Amino acid sequence: MGSGQFVAVFGAYGHTGRFVVAELVARGFVPVLSGRNAKALAEVADEHGLEARVATVEDPASLDRALAGTVAVVNCAGPFASTTGPVIEAALRAGIPYLDVAAELEANLDTFAHYRERARDAGAVIVPAMAFFGGLGDLLTTAAMGDWTEADEAHIAYALSSWHPTAGTRLSGAVSRERRGAHRLRYSGGQWERRTDEAPTLEWTFPDPTGPRSVIGEFTMADVVTVPQHLAIPDVTTYMTTKAVRDVATAHTPAPTAVDPGGRSDQTFLVDVVVRSGTAERRATASGQDIYAVTAPLVVEALERVLTGRTRTVGVASAGEIFDAPDFLHALAPHIALDLPPQPRTA
C-alpha cells in the first residue's frame, strides 16, 4: 500500500481525476492535487484534507513546484495532446515515474514516438493510456495471447450499456478530430492507415448474457495504439456498440450521474477480446460498472506496481508490456469480473 507516499495528480478536479484521488487515498497514498483551476482544486483539497498546488502546462516552473517531493505523477488532465508533453518533461526533470489516463490516439502515439528512446536511456518509467481505454484492453489482449509469441489478429469489442461522456471526453474528442481532419485511423498490416470512408456497421456476438449486438467496426480506440507497441499482431481492431457511439456523438447526451456512494454511474461495460492465430482462437473478457470510475483502480494499481518494482521494463511501456497481465487483472477484483483463458504453466 501507499504508506503515506506523496503522489502528484495533475487534473485532480476532473471527473476521472476525482476517482483517482479517492482511490489513492483508499490505498494509503497522499495525493498532491494539481491543475490550473485554483477554485476547483481547493474544493477537492478541502473534501479530503489535502494540499493543492496550482500549475499550468504553459509554466514549467509551476509544474516543477507541483511535483516537488512526490514519488510519481498521474496525469488526468485532458486534452492530453496539450498536457502529456509538459507533464512528462516535468516528471523527467523530477526523476519520477509518469502515468496517464489518456484515451486520445494522437497523444498516445506522440508519447511513444517522442519519449521511447529518451525514457529508456534515462531508466525512466512512462506508462501512457493506463485507463479503461488503452490499458484494460491491452492487458486483456496480453493475457489472451498467453504463450503465443505472435498472432494474426486481435479484436477488442466494447459493449457499453450507455456512454454518457464527461466534459473532458468531449473536449479530448474534439481535439482528436481536429488533428485527424476528415480522416479516421485504422491499424492493418502492421501499419497505420488514414481512411476517409465510413467505418463499417457489423454484428459482434458478445458472451452471454449480452449476446449479439450491433457495433461500429474500426471504431479505433487507444488499445490500437498500445497493443502493437509490444505484441506481434499486425491487425488490431476495436469495436463499439452502436448505441454507445450514438450516445457519445449526440451533443445533448448528459454527463454521468452518480448512483452509489462511490460516485459511480449506472452504466455497465463488457470488454470482449478475441486473438486469432491461424485457425486457433483465444478469448478474454472483463465486465464492470462505470468506465470512468474503473480507470482509478487501473492506474493506481499500475502506480503501486511501478513503485514496488513489479515491472518488466523501463521507458515508455504499454500496460501489458510492463506488468504481468493476468496477475494485474486478477488484482482488480472486485472492480471487474474476468473470464481469462488458462495460463501456461511456468517452470
Residue 278 region, left (φ>0) first, then alpha (ψ -120 to 50), else beta?
left
In a domain, 344, yes or no: no
pLDDT of residue 182: 77
For residues 225 and 88, state if they share a domain: no
For residues 304 and 245, state if they share a domain: no
In a domain, 45, yes or no: yes
pLDDT of residue 180: 82
Tell me the pTM: 0.96
| pLDDT tens string 159-200 | 999 999 999 999 888 888 888 887 899 999 999 999 999 999
In a domain, 251, yes or no: yes
For residues 158 and 279, state if they share a domain: yes
In a domain, 52, yes or no: yes
For residues 42 and 116, state if they share a domain: yes
Cis-peptide, bond into residue 334, ω within 30° of zero: yes
For residues 95 and 20, state if they share a domain: yes
For residues 203 and 299, state if they share a domain: no
| Dihedrals phi, psi of 120, to nearest 5 degrees | -60, -45
Cross-strand pairs, 316: 126
CB atoms within 10 A of CB 196: 8
| Dihedrals phi, psi of 119, to nearest 5 degrees | -65, -40
Provide the domain limits for residue 63.
Answer: 6-130+295-326
pLDDT of residue 344: 66
pLDDT of residue 343: 73
Residue 69 region, left (φ>0) first, then alpha (ψ -120 to 50), else beta?
left
How far is the C-alpha of 271 from the C-alpha of 157, rounded, in Å?
6
| pLDDT tens string 318-345 | 999 999 999 999 999 989 999 999 876 6
How far is the C-alpha of 225 from the C-alpha of 222, rounded, in Å?
5
For residues 319 and 188, state if they share a domain: no
| Number of domains forming the structure of the chain | 2
Give which of 297, 285, 286, 144 is closest to 227, Cα–Cα: 144
pLDDT of residue 346: 55
In a domain, 1, yes or no: no
| pLDDT tens string 23-76 | 999 999 999 999 999 999 999 999 999 999 999 999 999 999 999 999 999 999
| pLDDT tens string 209-267 | 999 999 999 999 999 999 999 999 999 999 999 999 999 999 999 999 999 999 999 99
For residues 28 and 86, state if they share a domain: yes
For residues 119 and 139, state if they share a domain: no
Split at pLDDT 50, 70, 90, the class of 82 is very high
Instruction: List % helix, strand, coil for the chain (3-state, nearest 5).
Output: 40, 25, 35
In 197-298, the DSSP E strands lie at: 201-205, 212-216, 235-241, 268-277, 280-289
Residue 324 grid coordinates: 504481468
| pLDDT tens string 263-315 | 999 999 999 999 999 999 999 999 999 999 999 999 999 999 999 999 999 99
SS3 263: coil
For residues 241 and 94, state if they share a domain: no
CATH of residue 121's domain is 3.40.50.720
How far is the C-alpha of 231 from the C-alpha of 129, rounded, in Å?
16
Cis-peptide, bond into residue 128, ω within 30° of zero: no
For residues 80 and 119, state if they share a domain: yes
Q: Are 306 and 289 in contact (CB under 8 A)?
A: no
In a domain, 347, yes or no: no
In a domain, 345, yes or no: no
In a domain, 105, yes or no: yes
How far is the C-alpha of 132 from the C-alpha of 167, rounded, in Å?
17
The continuous run of DSSP H or E covering 53 comes out as strand 52-54
Parallel, antiparallel or unpaired: strands 153-160 and 268-277: antiparallel
CATH of residue 255's domain is 3.30.360.10
For residues 115 and 225, state if they share a domain: no
